[in-house]
Protein backbone atom coordinates (compact mmCIF):
# COMPACT_ATOMS: atom_id res chain seq x y z
CA UNK A 1 0.00 0.00 0.00
CA UNK A 2 2.80 2.39 0.92
CA UNK A 3 4.57 1.91 -2.41
CA UNK A 4 1.33 2.40 -4.31
CA UNK A 5 0.63 5.67 -2.50
CA UNK A 6 4.17 6.89 -3.15
CA UNK A 7 3.86 5.93 -6.80
CA UNK A 8 0.53 7.76 -7.09
CA UNK A 9 1.99 10.88 -5.45
CA UNK A 10 4.97 10.75 -7.79
CA UNK A 11 2.66 10.42 -10.80
CA UNK A 12 0.56 13.34 -9.59
CA UNK A 13 3.68 15.44 -9.07
CA UNK A 14 4.85 14.68 -12.60
CA UNK A 15 1.44 15.55 -14.07
CA UNK A 16 1.44 18.89 -12.25
CA UNK A 17 4.97 19.64 -13.45
CA UNK A 18 4.00 18.79 -17.02
CA UNK A 19 0.93 21.04 -16.87
CA UNK A 20 3.03 23.91 -15.51
CA UNK A 21 5.64 23.39 -18.23
CA UNK A 22 2.96 23.56 -20.94
CA UNK A 23 1.72 26.86 -19.51
CA UNK A 24 5.26 28.17 -19.24
CA UNK A 25 6.13 27.23 -22.81
CA UNK A 26 2.96 28.90 -24.06
CA UNK A 27 3.70 32.04 -22.05
CA UNK A 28 7.33 32.24 -23.16
CA UNK A 29 6.65 31.55 -26.82
CA UNK A 30 3.79 34.06 -26.95
CA UNK A 31 4.31 36.65 -29.67
CA UNK A 32 3.36 39.48 -27.32
CA UNK A 33 5.97 38.50 -24.79
CA UNK A 34 6.23 40.82 -21.84
CA UNK A 35 9.50 42.31 -20.62
CA UNK A 36 8.51 42.27 -16.93
CA UNK A 37 6.15 40.22 -14.79
CA UNK A 38 4.45 41.03 -11.49
CA UNK A 39 4.83 38.73 -8.50
CA UNK A 40 1.26 37.53 -9.05
CA UNK A 41 2.05 36.60 -12.67
CA UNK A 42 5.30 34.84 -11.73
CA UNK A 43 3.45 32.98 -9.00
CA UNK A 44 0.75 31.88 -11.43
CA UNK A 45 3.25 30.85 -14.11
CA UNK A 46 5.63 28.93 -11.84
CA UNK A 47 3.25 27.66 -9.18
CA UNK A 48 5.43 29.19 -6.46
CA UNK A 49 3.92 31.35 -3.74
CA UNK A 50 4.81 35.05 -3.71
CA UNK A 51 6.83 34.71 -0.50
CA UNK A 52 8.98 32.03 -2.15
CA UNK A 53 9.61 34.32 -5.13
CA UNK A 54 10.51 37.17 -2.79
CA UNK A 55 12.92 34.89 -0.95
CA UNK A 56 14.57 33.99 -4.25
CA UNK A 57 15.25 37.59 -5.16
CA UNK A 58 16.35 38.50 -1.63
CA UNK A 59 18.86 35.64 -1.76
CA UNK A 60 20.09 36.79 -5.16
CA UNK A 61 18.78 33.77 -7.05
CA UNK A 62 16.79 36.00 -9.40
CA UNK A 63 16.93 39.73 -10.06
CA UNK A 64 14.10 42.22 -9.71
CA UNK A 65 13.40 45.78 -10.75
CA UNK A 66 10.90 48.28 -9.45
CA UNK A 67 8.10 50.23 -11.05
CA UNK A 68 7.49 52.76 -8.31
CA UNK A 69 7.41 50.58 -5.21
CA UNK A 70 6.13 47.48 -7.06
CA UNK A 71 8.72 44.73 -7.64
CA UNK A 72 8.79 43.25 -11.14
CA UNK A 73 10.64 40.22 -12.44
CA UNK A 74 12.35 40.64 -15.84
CA UNK A 75 11.38 38.06 -18.47
CA UNK A 76 14.95 36.72 -18.62
CA UNK A 77 14.88 36.10 -14.88
CA UNK A 78 11.56 34.29 -15.20
CA UNK A 79 13.05 32.09 -17.91
CA UNK A 80 16.05 31.37 -15.65
CA UNK A 81 13.72 30.49 -12.77
CA UNK A 82 11.66 28.19 -14.98
CA UNK A 83 14.81 26.48 -16.24
CA UNK A 84 16.02 25.89 -12.67
CA UNK A 85 12.62 24.56 -11.59
CA UNK A 86 12.63 22.21 -14.56
CA UNK A 87 16.10 20.96 -13.62
CA UNK A 88 14.95 20.32 -10.06
CA UNK A 89 11.93 18.36 -11.24
CA UNK A 90 14.00 16.09 -13.46
CA UNK A 91 16.47 15.36 -10.65
CA UNK A 92 13.70 14.04 -8.39
> Exposed, middle or buried, 77 (CB in 10 Å: 0-12/13-18/19+)?
buried
The listed CATH number (2.60.40, 2.150.10, 1.10.10, 1.10.1660) that belongs to domain 2-91: 1.10.1660
Give pTM, 2 decimals.
0.64
| Phi, psi angle pair for 41, to nearest 5° | -65, -45
Partners of 74 in the β-ladder: 36
Q: Where are the domains of the chain?
A: 2-91
Residue 88 pLDDT class (50, 70, 90 cuts): confident
pLDDT digits (tens, 9 = 90+) for 28-58: 776 567 899 999 999 998 889 999 999 999 9
Amino acid sequence: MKNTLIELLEELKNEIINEILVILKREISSSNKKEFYSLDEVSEITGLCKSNIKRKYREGIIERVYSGNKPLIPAKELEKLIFNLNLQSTKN
